[in-house]
Structure 1
């Protein structure tokens, strides 16, 4: 197969699914890892796809909204590290709001071991994960609303319910983070519901891997001054760290299995 043909197939797969991993392309196209990475680099230079750790996603377009499944396949190691570190910030007996999104979902997986939690979420996958009819000391509250491609419940029903909620901590996943644009999303209704989630919380913890830095969605959810803590992975670049250090944000670099979280 010619390079042009491979690249057309890669571009089509990314456009259809929102993202794809190098390992999947190696198996499907029966070529080397290095060949696929070169193809992705070529497509990225042309602006056809965005190169990320382990694969490629759609090129940055502010209104693009990849689905939950596509996003869950990207940067799984970093999301796992972020999830474990974020869970260590939550105490037994806390009330926690959890937004939709694959990184927030990974955090929810780690929270299952924490006792006496009250969880409010607009994510059906998170609610399904945490609800256990045999678990008497965990309360899970799922907002109503209209479902988005990222599997969030949004809109007036969700916003009205959240208007009367008060929690200790919000764990917020985002589409992108930018110094000027702040926290962003491609979905109008999700932006509004995420603002409602922010208003519920005494502490806002944003969970986002390094690939979210510099990504700007169609709408701003909130400016960075609304963020108390950002938990990200060690691949966040130095320039981003310097920019965040100028703001009153607790930057926590997620740890590997054998290390402790690093606060900046």
Structure 2
């Protein structure tokens, strides 16, 4: 139940990239840059409508389900390196050890992570990133910030993105692969494939964005901030949090990958 609830928080957070630009303006101390954020959300919506969504639909149409799942598993396995590191940085050494074991098992028995063997032997996928680590260390989230292409974030979240990139081995492909253009192709191409695969997995979530609230911008802003608070505190949040995600679960929305692109 805890894992599903976390997924529901994440699902609504990532769907901010799919929401339209609303016209209702509200003064909120958590969102002093609202004008910029709304314009960036509108820009991201345009990128999604004209680029990401058509490409994702094409990818989903030509890719067999088992290949699609294998690609998702591959990038999830790479992500476990950062998950393991962040759990260790947060002092969760037991979970970090489980993450390390999961990565080792999936990389070997799971054929470079294409098969999620870890979940089959009770080594579940955890959700940790550097933004959460900074939050555990006491760094406040800061004002809500919508980044071009990356979507919902914050000053702490932006720092977290940099930290996550530093923990991703694909970032260093250009250093270790020769000639240099091969490394660059692996790094950029890997990121593009991950973005397309993730977007394809979200194609069924438009209903959340369409029916979530009258002012979808405000809905997704509050959902993102609530989601980060939920993750930093490992679900130990008050029942009167911003949105009632149990209601979304009752409507049939299940957990999905929390990282948009």
Shorter chain as normaliser: what TM range? Answer: under 0.3
More helix by share: 2
Q: TM-score, normalised by structure 1?
A: 0.24
Q: TM-score, normalised by structure 2?
A: 0.25
